[in-house]
Structure 1
């Protein structure tokens, strides 16, 4: 009973907007996992909320990432709605050496450029200084690359997501965004489940 009371008090102390972003974010991931088209409207709501939250917390790279995801989710909803129910399933593939090199190069080159840009622009525009500009930029660059690998059904995309999600948990805890940190912790667990599930599909393809 005390634990329930403590959880209730903790929830009441959190931002309703952030909690809405967390609930819709978890719903969109769950619905995507069961291949339900309604994952897209929940994703649109969640990313729209987090554009505002991350901008407010000076996590500008995260805000930019969510602007991109917001647009992609609108496209995804449109694209899924046009696909026939009996469309063939895209096979799972393993990551290639070229893709690993691409990931490392894009992270090494784009991270400092994005981080420096965020630091410079916030000074010029007199915005709140970017929080963790280079770490935030690194996570954004790697996340967007993982998104491409996921779209191409690369098995190891899930391992990249686990890596990034764990870093995000630390960032959001440091910023006091506890519900968001919990959400990304759950994302990491879901990514592990996704990896195990996709690995089973990959092994079935080899038979």
Structure 2
């Protein structure tokens, strides 16, 4: 079993294996902190996304690399967004998407897929089945990260769908550690959604009691 899961690492540079493990650990830590609605989700995420952006570029997985560059930028934005206060209260607490944000999410999803398709055609990367899945995943994860930075509960739905697809995808690509990371991501994302929903319901009750 061990040979089946990890034999693909036999010819990898040791530094890449070490970096993938570190990136996976920080990625898992970041998702756990997101579940807890803890602002440290962003600095830990910055470490993970920086490592993965580099590794995925080395592995010529352009769509995946672009996702992580985007994550890096959105983590900086989200870090700033979550720190904003109104008095002693968060200016942007956990909330649901409004109609304007739904339209933006649709445009972001569609625009991202079109952009990735153009990039893949330009670099002639549509050479196997998972290149096509990459384009769809990039759209999902772009929207998921934007919604998390905006502190919208729907971000977890996009993460869960994308994580479930990524488990077999990364295993097929030969990156077992990353595949296992996405398996854990899926579990944590489900609990993250439930925990955010509980926080949102409690805040709604508190607001109603004021009146």
Identify the range of structure 1 (167-176 vs 83-92) with the bigger mean alpha-carbon deviation: 83-92
Find the counterpart in structure 2 of residue 93 from structure 1: 95
From 156, 159, 174, give the equivalent of 1:158: 156
Structure 1 gaps of 5+ residues are none
Structure 1 contact 59–132 (Cα < 8 Å) conserved: no
Q: What is the CA-CA distance between 1:108 and the residue it aligns to?
A: 4.2
Structure 1 contact 47–67 (Cα < 8 Å) conserved: yes
TM-score (norm. length: structure 2): 0.74
Which string of whole-angstrom CA distances, capped at 9 and with x for unpartnered residues, describes residues 128-171 of structure 1? 96873332122112211122222333222211110011111121
Structure 2 gaps of 5+ residues are 206-211
Give the root-mean-square deviation of aligned CA atoms: 3.6
Distance 1:43 1:202, change over 3 A: closer
2:179, 2:87 → 1: CA distance?
36
Relative contact order (alpha carbons < 8 A, sep ≥ 6): 1 or 2 greater?
2
Find the counterpart in structure 2 of residue 181 from structure 1: 179
Structure 2 contact 94–152 (Cα < 8 Å) conserved: yes
Q: How does 1:32-51 map to 2 (within 5 A)?
A: 32-34=34-36, 36-51=38-53
1:108, 1:50 → 2: CA distance?
24
Structure 1 contact 155–195 (Cα < 8 Å) conserved: yes
Aligned length: 198
1:73, 1:96 → 2: CA distance?
22
Find the counterpart in structure 1 of residue 58 from structure 2: 56
Structure 1 contact 59–131 (Cα < 8 Å) conserved: no
Identify the range of structure 1 (25-34 vs 196-205) with the bigger mean alpha-carbon deviation: 25-34
Q: What is the CA-CA distance between 1:18 and the residue it aligns to?
A: 1.0
Structure 1 contact 119–130 (Cα < 8 Å) conserved: no
Which string of whole-angstrom CA distances, capped at 9 and with x for unpartnered residues, describes residues 144-202 of structure 1? 11222223332222111100111111210111111101111111111111110111122
Distance 1:202 1:44, change over 3 A: closer
Find the counterpart in structure 1 of residue 208 from structure 2: none
Distance 1:75 1:149, change over 3 A: closer
TM-score (norm. length: structure 1): 0.75
Find the counterpart in structure 2 of residue 16 from structure 1: 18
Q: What is the CA-CA distance between 1:97 and the residue it aligns to?
A: 5.5
